[in-house]
Amino acid sequence: MELLKERIRRDGTVKGNDVLKVDSFLNHQMDIALFEEIGREFLRRFADCGVNKILTIEASGIGIACVTAQSFHCPVVFAKKSQTRNIDGGVYVTRVESFTHGKVYDVIVSKKFLGPEDNVLIIDDFLANGAALEGLIDLVNQAGARLAGAGIVIEKAFQPGGERLRSKGVRVESLARVASMSEKDGVRFVD
């Protein structure tokens, strides 16, 4: 998605060799006009899949998921990060290791909001090592729901998550795929 790549080139900053900061338009301050374009692009790619629910993870996926849901006309469920396993039985639980914080979280979704009748599109801002996406897929599987695929805004293709998930048969659609990046040279895209 050229508009998104241009914006990353213009406003993204690279920290170290593996963290891309896009907090001026994607995950702190949010450019909703750009989100609308992102939502329309996800709809174009997943239009024929019969998606009836969008699943994301708090916090930074929520804004994009909500705007995308306006294109799909379906509800959004966000998985909640919880510090404790001590939760009542009405939830699906999985464990996720956070790429940006290095912590392990339990991540939960209420059984009321995900079930076998659902055909789920997962939406997230970044795909790096794939832990967040694998956790969300685990929740979809626990619920007996169908997975239509995953829509990712920025995939760091030099990290292993995308390739591993695609090789397992998951349909992963990323709008910008970063081949490499550095503080000195900025961001280079796959295509």
Query: Is 125 a residue that touches ligand 5GP (CB under 6 A)?
Result: yes
Considering beta carbons, is residue 52 or 186 the nearer one to ligand 5GP? Answer: 186
What separation, in Å, do the N-terminal and C-terminal C-alpha atoms of the chain show?
A: 10
What Rg, from alpha-carbon coordinates, does the chain have? 16
User: Given the complex with ligand 5GP, which of 27 and 94 has the nearer CB atom?
Assistant: 27
At closest approach, how far in Å is the CB of 3 from ligand 5GP? 19
Of 60 and 73, CB closest to ligand 5GP? 60
Which of residues 78 and 126 has its CB atom nearest to ligand 5GP in the complex? Answer: 126
Smallest distance from the beta carbon of 166 to ligand 5GP, in angstroms?
Answer: 13
> Which residue in the set 129, 138, 164, 171 belongs to the binding site for ligand 5GP (CB under 6 A)?
129
Site string for ligand 5GP, 82-121 (x = CB under 6 A): -----------------xx---------------------
Count CB-CB contacts under 10 A for residue 14.
17
Q: Tokens for 22?
A: 């896009």
Binder among 19, 30, 49, 170 for ligand 5GP (CB under 6 A): 19
Q: Which is nearer to ligand 5GP, 47 or 104 (CB)?
A: 104
Annotate the chain with three-state secondary structure: CHHHHHHHHHHCEEECCCEEECCCCCCCCCCHHHHHHHHHHHHHHHHHHCCCEEEEECCCCHHHHHHHHHHHCCCEEEEEEECCCCCCCCEEEEEEECCCCCCEEEEEEECCCCCCCCEEEEEEEEECCCHHHHHHHHHHHHCCCEEEEEEEEEEECCCCHHHHHHHCCCCEEEEEEEEEEECCCEEEECC
User: Of 132, 137, 143, 176, which one interacts with ligand 5GP (CB under 6 A)?
Assistant: 132
Query: Under rule CB under 6 A, how many of the chain's residues touch ligand 5GP?
Result: 18
Give me the residues that bind ligand 5GP (CB under 6 A), please. 19-21, 27, 60, 99-100, 124-133, 161
